[in-house]
Amino acid sequence: MLVSDRMPVAVPYNICWCREMKYRGFTLVEMLIVLALIGVLAGLSFPVFSRVREKGRRTTCQSNLKQIGLAVQQYVQDNNGRYPTLASLQATDIARWNVPIRSYLKSEAVFRCPSRQKPLPLYPATDYGYNWLTLNGTQEASIVFPIHVPLNDEGGGSSYDGGPDTDVIDTSFAGPIWQPALHSGGANFSYIDGHIKWRSIQDQLSAG
């Protein structure tokens, strides 16, 4: 009788020593903690998003003023070098400063500042003012330092004199409708030479 010299072969098999896992849902306390964390993060991010949106509106406003400035310059070229004339303060809105330059603009939407929620009751046609004291029918050649002379501001649809007491910084008019500083405590200005600049109320007061 022959005896096999082969050793018996063990058949491998897997043994799991893991404990049985027990799954459970969130408790009420854990859910409240998660919701509180989400609320805190949302509160922290909201001011950031608000600043980003306002920066975009400020840029749009500056673009509006740029287009208005170009329209005024075209008007000046077509009218013997003179700036638009302001109608009397008793005139209706249809006769105000923005009317003569409408034909030079593709859209009247540029007369609206995106940060102003409601049009001004007295001046619904435009959210921007005009430096009437300096430019009211003035000859372009008579302006000595155009880089320093404001053309338009965003204080309101009325006109202003370009001095320290303008509708941009006169906080006595401040209210839910009349907002003298629409962009982060300041306002956008366009100048005769074509450049646009944001200036704070404090900057304007100190300059005056």
Which range among 40-44, 82-86, 89-93 has the greatest average pLDDT?
A: 82-86
Q: Is the pLDDT of residue 186 over 60?
A: yes
Which amino acid type is present at position 7?
Answer: M
pLDDT of 179 reads 58
Backbone φ and ψ of 164, nearest 5°: -70, -25
Residue-number span of the structural domain to which 86 is assigned: 30-207
The CA-CA-CA angle for residues 126, 129, 131, to 5°, reads 145
**22 found inside a domain:** no
Max intra-chain CA distance, the chain: 133
Place of tokens 């043994």: 15
* pLDDT bucket at 67, cuts 50 / 70 / 90: very high
Instruction: Say whether 11 sits in a helix, a strand or coil.
Output: coil
Looking at the structure of the chain, the number of domains it has is: 1
Tokens for 51, please give them.
């600043």
Q: Does residue 91 form part of some domain?
A: yes
Rounded average pLDDT over 1-26: 54
pTM: 0.63
In this predicted structure, what is the pLDDT of residue 94? 45
Integer CA distances (angstroms), 191 to 82, 127, 140, in order = 16, 17, 13
For the chain, percent of residues with pLDDT exceeding 70: 59
Question: Distance of alpha carbon 189 from its chain centroid, rounded?
Answer: 13
More confident residue, 86 or 68: 68
* C-alpha span between 40 and 88 (Å, rounded): 54
Among 137-141, 153-157, 174-178, 179-183, where is mean pLDDT lowest?
174-178
Query: Would residue 138 count as lying in a domain?
Result: yes
pLDDT over 60 at 164, yes or no: no
* 20 lies in some domain: no
pLDDT greater than 70 at residue 126? yes
Residue 133 resides in a domain: yes
pLDDT at 4 over 80: no
> Distance between CA 195 and CA 16 in Å, rounded?
77
Antiparallel, parallel or unpaired: β 186-191 and 129-130: unpaired
Q: Is residue 78 part of a domain?
A: yes
Q: pLDDT band for position 168 (50/70/90)?
A: very low
